Structure 1
Amino acid sequence: MKYLLLPFPILLFSAATHAQTTSDTVRALPGVLVTYQAEKLTPITFQNLSGEALQKRSVGQEPSFLLTEMTPNVTAYSDAGSTQGYAYFRLRGIDQTRINITLDGMPLNEPEDQGAYFSNYPDLFNSVSRVQVQRGVGTSQNGTASYGGSVQLFSPGLQDSARTTLGGGYGSFNSFRLFGEYASGVRNGKALYVRASQLHSDGYRSRSSNTSRSVFLSGGLMRDKTSWKLNVVAGQQRNQLAWLGVPDSVLRENRRANVNGPENDQFTQGLVQLQNIWQPSATSTITSSVYGSGLRGGYDFDLNAFIGLPSTAELYRYDFRSGWLGAYTTYARRTQRLTWTSGLQASTYRRRHLGSEKALGELYRNTGRKQEASAFSKLEYRLRRFTLFADAQVRTTTFDYNGSVPFPAINWRFFNPKAGLSFAAADNTTLYYSIGRTSREPTRNDLFGGNDDLLADDQGRPALASQTPESVVDQELGVRHQAGPLQLELNAYYMDFQNEIVLNGNFGPNGLALTNKAESSLRTGLEASVRYQLTPRLLLTNNSAVNYSRIREQREEFKPVLTPALILNQEAACQAGPWLLAVQGRYQSRSFIDFANSAAVGDYVLLNARVQYARRNWQLTLFGNNLTNARYYTNGYVETNGTRKLFVQAPANVYVDVQYSF
């Protein structure tokens, strides 16, 4: 993506602070978009993660693993068994294609299959200033419906002081990272941030290496009442593929086995976002953004390995090229009692798919197109100790397809309402309740039944799976408390689904997970996030979740795939002068890996630790993972012949990271 980086001027903006005495002047222009995030009194379930806290833990691993450590009710696994390369997460057991992910309000979920691929932007979480994770339907978002939740990323805070940081690290499985980071601070109303990273890992499993690089550029220009910000992010990755599960009989002989054939991939992806924040008065703000994203690359597919036969010279390949353009604008008005936000968003997306075989050449090509438009209005009104909340979104999306099978465009229209109430029981305690409904369309993979090229039925018509959208009614009840040494977030949730598209535990020939339709289903449980400063030096942190989920199908009940009933994360961190010692334990109960609940991956306990020494301009950190050398699995599936296939995760491993700032 060099063509994305070289022509752009160093033009970026930061939050402007310009205080004057007249009522219509700007006191502080925000450095990042805030119109979609939840605030202290918003009656939804959310958690904020600071960029500083993320960077203390992040050494280039996939963000999925950071989310499992720092938020409740998140599970993750990786193809390679280590923490780099392809990794995936689930929130409340709901897969990643149904979780909304944005950067400063820009959608990151690919419109066709609604997945956000962090692996295409390696080291991303070391550049963000903060993250807000909303669990449940949350507030209205741009892009993919926040069906199971949303993960909102916020670009670097350009108002930070000037600095330059160089760093590197090395660890088990020949994993390493090199990076350089520069922040100019605000100078004459301008600011610039740049970070470049190079990462590699051989992977724990045989032939599962990842080599990737990325650049994040953010610059700003600010004036009295308006600010401009430009974000440019580009990444490239090359992987040896390991997306097939391994039979448990093989794993007993060789835990590092990889049953994929000689398959590789390479993808390059970049995005550009130009933002403007205009504050015409002290109580109103208009935020606008235009964005574009492009992806190019492909991956190999060994059919013989997929069906369990020895590899031959036969090797297929999937290639993709996509382009995505969009824009949104929001108006926010804030008074002492009222916060009102309304917005519009529209985007158009096109992806070309090309299938080929090494000896035969091109086999097919097709193109998917998707257009989307949405509008929302959100209101929070404070009445003494109560805050009334209402949020409504209208969303329309169209999917069209050009290929060998005639295809009529499919249109979906949704109305997604939400309402809630919070009560400030004390200055440091908030009780809340909310109810919201949201719906979403099937992905292309759901529509095509896991095929990259649409098949025809015996009458020549498109052989489509169900086109019916899924919907959920989500109720959240919780309390937030922060006083002295204690910070507590506790909530209960009840999610009632109709026509839920649930994982069935299998993978299609394109490597994507296959799904079934469920007549009705529910997910309910308790989630807790607790921070307690036991002494000035000792901090205790706990993120835990209890889950009760059921799928009802033809008078039978099943538990959803990969949805453990209990997850416990406990960390103790001790700070003594320049030294930090943190020990973290995780317990995850068993979860089923097939729709019929005939097989499961067992429960497991992990013990991780990190030791950090920071003095003057230096920071040295030693990470130890899975210190008890637990033999565990976090994902798997069952073949039609009953064979269990599992994804092994790495045994004990270490990583050393060093950084120097000046």
Structure 2
Amino acid sequence: MKTLFTIQGYKATRSSAFLSLFVIFLGFFSYAQETPIDSLKIHELKEVTVSAIRAKDKNPITFTNVTKEEIAPRNLGQDITVLLSYAPSVVTTTDAGNGVGYTYMRVRGSDGSRINVTLNGIPFNDSESQGTFFVNLPDFASSLESVQLQRGVGASTNGAGAFGASLNMQTKSYQEKSFAEVSNSFGSFNTRKHTLSFGTGLHNNFEINGRVSNIASDGYIDRASTDMFGYFFNANYVRETTLIKAIAFGGKEKTYQAWNGLEDPYKLKNDRTFNSAGMYTDELGNIQFYSNENDNYSQNHFQLHWSENWSENWVSNIALHYTMGKGYFEQYKEDQKFSSYNLPSFEGNAKTDLVRKRWLDNDFFGTTFSLNYKTQATSVLFGGAVNRYLGKHYGEVVWTQYYVPNPNRYYDNYGNKDDMNAYIKLSQNLTSKLNLYVDLQYRMTFYKATSVKFADVNDTFKFFNPKVGLNYQLDDQNSLYGYAGIANKEPRRDDYESEANKPERLYDYELGWKYNGEKAKISANMFYMNYEDQLVLTGALNDVGSQIFTNSGKSYRLGLEVESVIAITDKIILSPNVTLSENKNQDFYFEIDGVLRDLGNTDIAFSPSIILGNRLTFLPIENFEFSILSKYVGEQFMGNIDAKSSKLDDYFVNDLNISYDWKINKGIKSIVFSGLVNNVCDLEYESNGFFYTYDDDSSGNIITYGGTGYYPQAGINFLLGVTLKF
């Protein structure tokens, strides 16, 4: 078995690692003494696991909070990124076209590998790709307490640097009263979700709650089916000054590949659901589709949190975590060379059709910690993390058209990464109205990797990430803030393959106004994000459907964001947001007809200049809610050379959401009926795509036009759900 870490000479294997955490967990329990519970202090402790990296109202940081109550009416099977799609500056897309399976989010034009995601303060981004894959955590939204989306550099956090946003997620804590819930939803494309949740309630300082879920869908795109199982279990010990949580969650998914998109213009117009994944020609010349062109992956997370309120001024939190993931995707490949897979030829045939599996087997473990001293005027917080990632990448051929080979690995590589950071944050009231915020972080990463596509890597990166800001309270309702921050980010594994492996730097400036009135809440901010060696999306994809990046030299994002909640009447609530921005590469160089040319300032790929969102909610009677959700995304280029052929059209999508909570309180507390009609206007649109240039066959030179592909999204579709609460 693989050794994960050593504690005082004891070697921990994958099977024993969680046992070690459990033993420590029991040790904490034996230490804690029975004392009366102060509900106010415990409520504060509930927030400690994420408070170190979350922004507070008086901090000069641009952020949006989303509660579980806001998510619940639409939580009928779609992924968490889709449920957040109406937040400011957010653009989402899905491979299958209906929000189930592989989904992606961009914030201010920055893709998921540049959005720092933490779960209870624990990093979630994959250490090598730096991407986030919520398909591995099915129905995770059902276990969330709250979400905070920070835009820009934001506050110091754990994990990969935030170059567009930070997404901080807090899972549900203990529940004082026992409960049980059974949720079922069904909808278009044979989509269904089944969830069972329970909680024992708090008894003798102990509480256990949990959830198991199954989500499946055929998908809008042909064969883009998904079958996912997810779980979440949480054991809590609570006393007046102590909260200890042992959490286990994860999931397993099997998803038919749909990452190829659609390149054929005729099919885009007449056969929008066509999927080329798994396509091959049989011996009779007939087009066939391989039935097992699937992605299979399981991921399990274990977290142990200890929050302690030592006095009125001192609060601490320490967490241990371990994540293990393993899986593969399977592909049918035509006319492959035997020699490319370390296989012997067959009776003079140098090529063959074959089926291959490409594996990822990884472990991620470490600790996060924070210590907070606070008075009425001062808050000083020291925190950090030490984490290790061990990744194995290998491929196997499991079938050829001539013979079935013995299990063989045609490549076997690794990627190991150590990541550590320490930060100190000061929030100081300089006067009764003026608050100073200072945030200093030092981060180090050590990355070693091998690959068949790039030379061995042994890189060390050291980053200093300072932030400073002021918040001025004009009166009880109005405040102004200013912020400046620097972030640095290391390259991803794939960046070494494309030789775009320079570290990046971002200077972020934010200037904002917040209004908190009785009938309305409004926040507006201007941002200027100035990059050095930003890794921008080229628009092209690699051989496994992942996006390719390039260093753009100098670039910037300049924009205005406005977000509001307005109570028009007691029964009508309007929640619009708008983002207007300019996103430019400066003096962008590109090779045209064999000559490297300066194209001047070009638009950054996948960065629309206008994004609008709105939620119009009607509350006609008690416990009944009806919402119209709208999203407009302006046109955007899928490459960085402003080629007309790379333009992705704008789109305006509207959804309807209905929820009614029928109170019974006779055995069954209530029955919640929910309905969601997506894309109610049945718009044909594409939310994502790709663009690549290629060598001209006659001249051998790179030319300015190339291939384009799109990811069509579903027309009108629906989901209906019923939840029984006991």
Give the TM-score category using the shorter length.
over 0.9
Q: Which residue of 1 aligns with 2:718?
A: 654
Q: Which residue of 2 aligns with 1:457?
A: none
Q: Paired residue for 1:237, among 243, 248, 253?
A: 253
Alignment of 1:256-271 (within 5 A): 256-261=273-278, 262=290, 263-271=293-301
Pair 1:221 & 2:266 matched? no
Query: Counterpart of 1:246 in 2: which secondary structure?
Result: coil
Provide, for residues 300-352 of structure 1, a one-character-per-residue CA deviation record: whole Å limited to 9, x for no partner: 2445599xxxx984233211110111102111011010011011310111011
More deviation, 383-392/592-601 = 592-601
Alignment of 1:116-131 (within 5 A): 116-131=132-147
Separation (CA, whole Å) in 1 of partners of 2:615 and 2:145: 23
Separation (CA, whole Å) in 2 of partners of 1:174 and 1:426: 53
Residue 200 of structure 2 aligns to which amino acid in structure 1?
S
Q: What is the TM-score of this pair, normalised by structure 2?
A: 0.84
More deviation, 612-621/136-145 = 612-621
Q: Which residue of 2 aligns with 1:381?
A: 428
Alignment of 1:243-254 (within 5 A): 243-247=259-263, 248-254=265-271
Query: Counterpart of 2:228 in 1: which secondary structure?
Result: strand
Residue 552 of structure 2 aligns to which amino acid in structure 1?
A
Query: Counterpart of 1:576 in 2: which secondary structure?
Result: coil
Q: Say if 1:136 and 1:304 are closer, same or farther in 2 by CA, change over 3 A.
A: farther
Q: Which residue of 2 aligns with 1:427?
A: 476
The Cα shift of 1:572 comes to 1.3
Separation (CA, whole Å) in 1 of partners of 2:16 and 2:671: 35
Q: Check the 8 A contact 1:27/1:282 in 2, yes or no.
A: no
Pair 1:566 & 2:610 matched? yes
Q: Paired residue for 1:277, among 301, 307, 319?
A: 307
Pair 1:177 & 2:193 matched? yes
Q: Paired residue for 1:321, among 340, 358, 361?
A: 361
Separation (CA, whole Å) in 2 of partners of 1:157 and 1:580: 26
More deviation, 483-492/179-188 = 179-188
Residue 376 of structure 1 aligns to which amino acid in structure 2?
Y
Q: Paired residue for 2:627, among 562, 569, 582?
A: 582
Q: Which residue of 2 aligns with 1:442?
A: 491
Q: Say if 1:198 and 1:481 are closer, same or farther in 2 by CA, change over 3 A.
A: same
Q: Paired residue for 1:418, among 463, 467, 482?
A: 467
The Cα shift of 1:35 comes to 1.5
Q: Which residue of 2 aligns with 1:189?
A: 205
Pair 1:407 & 2:456 matched? yes
Residue 203 of structure 1 aligns to which amino acid in structure 2?
G
Residue 31 of structure 1 aligns to which amino acid in structure 2?
K
Residue 254 of structure 1 aligns to which amino acid in structure 2?
D
Separation (CA, whole Å) in 1 of partners of 2:157 and 2:220: 37
Alignment of 1:582-601 (within 5 A): 582-598=627-643, 599-601=646-648
Provide, for residues 48-84 of structure 1, a one-character-per-residue CA deviation record: whole Å limited to 9, x for no partner: 1111111122112111111212x10011111111110
Query: Counterpart of 1:409 in 2: which secondary structure?
Result: strand
Q: Paired residue for 2:216, among 200, 216, 219?
A: 200
Query: Counterpart of 1:535 in 2: which secondary structure?
Result: coil
Q: Which has the larger radius of gyration?
A: 2
What is the alpha-carbon root mean square deviation over aligned residues? 2.5
Q: Which residue of 2 aligns with 1:643?
A: 707
Query: Counterpart of 1:314 in 2: which secondary structure?
Result: strand
Q: Say if 1:562 and 1:466 are closer, same or farther in 2 by CA, change over 3 A.
A: closer
Q: Which residue of 2 aligns with 1:458?
A: none
Alignment of 1:6-21 (within 5 A): 18-19=37-38
Provide, for residues 203-227 of structure 1, a one-character-per-residue CA deviation record: whole Å limited to 9, x for no partner: 0010100000100111210233222
Alignment of 1:146-157 (within 5 A): 146-157=162-173
Q: Paired residue for 2:521, among 487, 503, 528?
A: 487
The Cα shift of 1:357 comes to 2.6
Q: Say if 1:655 and 1:340 are closer, same or farther in 2 by CA, change over 3 A.
A: same
The Cα shift of 1:147 comes to 1.8
Provide, for residues 452-481 of structure 1, a one-character-per-residue CA deviation record: whole Å limited to 9, x for no partner: xxxxxxxxxxxxx14320010000111121
The Cα shift of 1:595 comes to 2.3
Separation (CA, whole Å) in 2 of partners of 1:4 and 1:249: 54
Q: Check the 8 A contact 2:335/2:352 in 1, yes or no.
A: no
Q: Paired residue for 2:45, among 30, 37, 59?
A: 30
Pair 1:371 & 2:452 matched? no
Unaligned runs of at least 5 residues, structure 1: 450-464
Separation (CA, whole Å) in 2 of partners of 1:470 and 1:157: 37
Q: Check the 8 A contact 2:322/2:364 in 1, yes or no.
A: yes
Alignment of 1:78-89 (within 5 A): 78-89=94-105
Separation (CA, whole Å) in 2 of partners of 1:228 and 1:17: 16
Query: Counterpart of 1:426 in 2: which secondary structure?
Result: coil
Alignment of 1:600-619 (within 5 A): 600-616=647-663, 617-619=670-672
The Cα shift of 1:27 comes to 7.0
Q: Check the 8 A contact 2:334/2:353 in 1, yes or no.
A: no
Separation (CA, whole Å) in 2 of partners of 1:647 and 1:495: 29
Residue 358 of structure 2 aligns to which amino acid in structure 1?
Y
Alignment of 1:54-133 (within 5 A): 54-69=71-86, 71-133=87-149
Q: Check the 8 A contact 2:335/2:353 in 1, yes or no.
A: no
Q: Check the 8 A contact 1:45/1:135 in 2, yes or no.
A: yes
Q: Say if 1:534 and 1:593 are closer, same or farther in 2 by CA, change over 3 A.
A: same
Residue 238 of structure 1 aligns to which amino acid in structure 2?
K
Provide, for residues 480-520 of structure 1, a one-character-per-residue CA deviation record: whole Å limited to 9, x for no partner: 21111101111110000000000000111132110111010
Residue 246 of structure 1 aligns to which amino acid in structure 2?
L
More deviation, 158-167/297-306 = 297-306
Separation (CA, whole Å) in 1 of partners of 2:60 and 2:177: 34
Separation (CA, whole Å) in 1 of partners of 2:413 and 2:135: 25
Separation (CA, whole Å) in 2 of partners of 1:607 and 1:346: 44
More deviation, 171-180/603-612 = 603-612
Separation (CA, whole Å) in 1 of partners of 2:707 and 2:445: 40
Q: Paired residue for 2:439, among 383, 387, 391?
A: 391
More deviation, 266-275/631-640 = 631-640
Q: Say if 1:276 and 1:27 are closer, same or farther in 2 by CA, change over 3 A.
A: closer
Separation (CA, whole Å) in 2 of partners of 1:26 and 1:195: 27
Q: Check the 8 A contact 1:276/1:287 in 2, yes or no.
A: yes
Separation (CA, whole Å) in 2 of partners of 1:371 and 1:5: 20
Q: Say if 1:48 and 1:287 are closer, same or farther in 2 by CA, change over 3 A.
A: same
The Cα shift of 1:3 comes to 11
The Cα shift of 1:26 comes to 5.4
Q: Check the 8 A contact 1:237/1:268 in 2, yes or no.
A: yes
Q: Check the 8 A contact 1:17/1:26 in 2, yes or no.
A: no
Provide, for residues 220-260 of structure 1, a one-character-per-residue CA deviation record: whole Å limited to 9, x for no partner: 10233222111111200000001012112322220110011
Q: Say if 1:27 and 1:432 are closer, same or farther in 2 by CA, change over 3 A.
A: same
Residue 153 of structure 1 aligns to which amino acid in structure 2?
M
How many residue pairs get aligned? The number is 637
Residue 625 of structure 1 aligns to which amino acid in structure 2?
N
